Amino acid sequence: MAAHPLAHADTTSWPALPLEEWEPTYRTVHRWSQVLGKVRMALTPPVNHWWHASLYVGERGLTTGPISNRGACFSLELGFHGHRLRVRCADGRECGFALEPMSVAEFYRRTMETLRSIGVSVHINPTPQEVADTTPFDLDTVHASYDRDAVERLWRILSSVDEVFQETRWGFLGKQSPSHFFWGAFDLAIARFSGRPNPQPPSDRVMGEAYSHEVISHGFWPGGDWPFGERVPEPVFYAYCVPKPEGFATAAVRPRAAAWNAKLGEFLLPYEAVRTSADPRAALLEFIRSTYEAGAVAAGWDRPRLERAI
């Protein structure tokens, strides 16, 4: 008798994370991540597609990576393993504070005080991005939840997804992004570019820079309220093309649980379908490869030039 698929599911690296169980913490931590991202953006020279502003999956949580500051260097880490905001300096100094239930206003105040203690003075726009409630960080006393178990599970998911995203980069020779975390929408993403400019980039300054060139993107998003009005009630993987080529929406993609979402204009694959599969890593790779191929074929990308023969 064949084993049930769940008998082989990796529930340690791919744990459950039902949105309804941790959404108050999600909303709080989302804003905390934006504080870190805005500090990095304020102190880092601009890079195309806003790559200078993103965070990265680190060994303990989300990190800014190295930030230069008047000849010195430091990093900020939102540590979901160990539950601590860590500031590390190139000269060996380290400081921070425990992550626990606290308001966004308190987190913002303590983060800025910690930075000042190492000689970093930085001004950021305190208004959160891509969320419905735009109460400035320094005034937000409503969002104050912190579920340690939930953020630990989030960190394990991000680490597993990041590993798969890193694996996919070898086969593509064209311009591509790192695996990076966009704090605006709270998603981990990778992107591949054809090398051709987008003939009709968005007129909005932020989106215009992000989508200045033809791109196929993949990512993981915990779900929730999408900034443009759509609510997704569970964690998902996504895939989209900009500009969207004719035929992409009707392409046959894998695994079978993946489906086109007309409101969002992208393919969605429920995280639950991946984590409960016999091989979550293989299921995610199948989704990335099949949706990339569908987009590249539909858009007429020069695949022999862009792809490595493996």
Phi/psi at 295 (nearest 5 deg)?
Answer: -70, -45
Report the distance separating Cα 29 and Cα 176, nearest Å. Answer: 28
Give the domain ranges of the chain: 19-139, 156-306
Q: Give per-residue burial for 218-230: e unless 16+ CB within 10 Å, then b.
A: bbbbbbbeeeeee
Report the distance separating Cα 118 and Cα 113, nearest Å. Answer: 9
CB–CB of 264/221 below 8 Å?
Answer: no
Handedness of CA 209, 26, 226, 292 (dihedral sign): positive
pTM of the model: 0.94
Per residue of the chain (310 residues), give pLDDT as tens.
333 343 345 678 999 999 999 999 999 999 999 999 999 999 999 999 999 999 999 999 999 999 998 878 999 999 998 999 999 999 999 999 999 999 999 999 999 999 999 999 999 999 999 999 999 999 999 999 999 999 999 999 999 999 999 999 999 999 999 999 999 999 999 999 999 999 999 999 989 999 999 999 999 999 999 876 789 999 999 999 999 999 999 999 999 999 999 999 999 999 999 999 999 999 999 999 999 999 999 999 999 999 998 6
Report the distance separating Cα 169 and Cα 176, nearest Å. Answer: 8
CB–CB of 35/164 below 8 Å?
Answer: no
The first and second tokens of residue 226, run together, are 């999408």
Phi/psi at 216 (nearest 5 deg)?
Answer: -120, 120
Is residue 98 helix, strand or coil? strand
Taking the C-alpha atoms of 106, 226, 21 and 86 in order, what is their torsion angle to the nearest 10 degrees? -40
| Rounded alpha-carbon distances, angstroms, from residue 266 to 91, 193, 238, 245 | 45, 17, 7, 12
Q: Per-residue pLDDT tens for 277-288? A: 999 999 999 999
Cis peptide before 243 (omega within 30 of 0): yes
Q: Which of 143, 134, 127 is nearest to 28 (CA)?
A: 143
What pLDDT is stored for residue 10 in this prediction? 62
Report the distance separating Cα 31 and Cα 27, nearest Å. Answer: 7
Taking the C-alpha atoms of 69, 62, 135 and 226 in order, what is their torsion angle to the nearest 10 degrees? 130
| Rounded alpha-carbon distances, angstroms, from residue 268 to 87, 208, 229, 254 | 36, 24, 16, 11
